[in-house]
């Protein structure tokens, strides 16, 4: 499963509060959804946490988001570990502040042997960036003689993505009613089912999550073929 967590800023604006308050409120939804996914046996959950485009936001907001991310990792890692959750990240993580990278490294190390939910944080992430980075890696390997260009197929190319061992999401959820994928997992969601809700992310709870899963269970997935 993958989620585009949208609507924090709008949630705050509707209440006459700064955008950062909306981001803080959204943390509670993250906690609830991660716990729910862990409890019902979801194998992988990818959260669109911070996109490459988000760096264009006001400097104060970006600084606040990075501070919140570092604090959240530090504060929640014990409970995640106790619930057998494994933490990973995808994206151009080297763009993040050193303090955040440090907390991510601690989270990786502490949870690396856990066998439950794999929680993937998409950080400084862009779907086009991922494809470009994968193409660059493949090109370098071909130039060194380790890859024959004519033999590259989808399976071969996917090995150069940020996390090739993580399966493509079966279900993509988007909050706040926007009907776009916003440069998220462009390669991986080729055949994902999509569920959109008007609920803003800070108001998203496990009840909406279960509604999305019920909708998914009622669908027929043919992957371009016939029934």
Per-residue pLDDT reduced to its tens digit, 182-227: 999 999 999 999 999 999 999 999 999 999 999 999 998 877 766 6
In the 3-class helix/strand/coil scheme, how is the chain assigned residue by residue?
CEEECCCHHHHHHHCCCCHHHHHHHHHHHHHHHHHHHHHHCCCEEEEEEEEHHHHHCCHHHHHHHHHHHHHHHHHHHHHHHHCCCEEEEECCHHHCCHHHHHHHHHHHHHHCCCCCCEEEEEEEECHHHHHHHHHHHHHHHHHCCCCCHHHCCHHHHHCCCCCCCCCCCCEEEECCCCCCCCCCCCCCCCCCEEEECCCCHHHCCHHHHHHHHHHHHCCCCCCCCCC
Q: Is 95 a catalytic residue?
A: no
Report how far residue 105's alpha carbon sits from residue 102's, in angstroms, rounded to the nearest whole number.
5
Q: According to the model, what pLDDT value does residue 226 have?
A: 63
The active-site residue out of 32, 54, 95, 168 is 54
Dihedral of CA atoms 5, 39, 208, 124 in degrees, nearest 10, equals 10
Q: According to the model, what pLDDT value does residue 175 have?
A: 98
Q: Is 183 a catalytic residue?
A: no
Which domains are delineated in the chain? 2-126+170-216 (3.40.1180.10)
Query: What Rg, from alpha-carbon coordinates, does the chain have?
Result: 18
Average pLDDT for 170-186: 97
Q: According to the model, what pLDDT value does residue 227 have?
A: 64
| β-bridge mates for residue 88, sequence order | 120
Per-residue pLDDT reduced to its tens digit, 74-83: 999 999 999 9
Q: According to the model, what pLDDT value does residue 13 have?
A: 97
- Six-digit token pair at 12? 């705050």
Rounded mean pLDDT of the chain?
96
Per-residue pLDDT reduced to its tens digit, 55-70: 999 999 999 999 999 9
CB contact at 8 A, 155 and 134: no
CB contact at 8 A, 175 and 200: yes
Average pLDDT for 138-151: 95
Per-residue pLDDT reduced to its tens digit, 77-113: 999 999 999 999 999 999 999 999 999 999 999 999 9
In percent, how much of the chain has pLDDT > 90?
96
Per-residue pLDDT reduced to its tens digit, 153-171: 999 999 999 999 999 999 9
Name the pTM for this structure. 0.95
Contacts of residue 5, Cβ cutoff 8 Å, sequence gap at least 6:
26, 29, 30, 47, 48, 49, 175, 201, 204
Q: According to the model, what pLDDT value does residue 183 have?
A: 98
Could you tell me the pLDDT band of residue 15, with boundaries at 50, 70 and 90?
very high
* pLDDT beyond 80 at 21: yes
Report how far residue 142's alpha carbon sits from residue 149's, in angstroms, rounded to the nearest whole number.
6
């Amino acid at each position: 499963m993958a989620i585009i967590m949208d609507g924090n800023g709008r949630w705050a604006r509707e209440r006459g509060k700064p955008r950062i308050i909306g981001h803080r409120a959204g943390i509670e939804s993250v906690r609830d959804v991660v716990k729910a996914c862990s409890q019902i046996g979801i194998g992988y959950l990818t959260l669109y946490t911070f996109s490459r485009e988000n760096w264009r936001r006001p400097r104060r907001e970006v600084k606040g988001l990075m501070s919140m991310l570092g604090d959240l990792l530090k504060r929640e890692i014990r409970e995640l570990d106790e619930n057998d959750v494994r933490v990973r990240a995808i994206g151009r993580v080297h763009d993040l502040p050193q303090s955040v990278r440090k907390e991510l490294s601690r989270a990786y190390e502490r949870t690396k042997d856990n066998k439950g939910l794999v929680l993937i944080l998409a950080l400084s992430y862009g779907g086009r960036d991922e494809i470009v980075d994968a193409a660059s890696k493949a090109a370098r390997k071909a130039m060194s003689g380790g890859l024959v260009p004519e033999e590259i197929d989808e399976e071969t190319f996917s090995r150069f993505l940020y996390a090739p061992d993580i399966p493509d999401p079966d279900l993509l959820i988007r909050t706040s009613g926007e009907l776009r994928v916003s440069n998220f997992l462009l390669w991986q969601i080729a055949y994902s089912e999509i569920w959109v809700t008007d609920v803003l992310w800070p108001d998203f709870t496990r009840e909406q999550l279960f509604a999305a899963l019920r909708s998914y269970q009622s669908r027929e997935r043919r992957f371009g073929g016939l029934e």
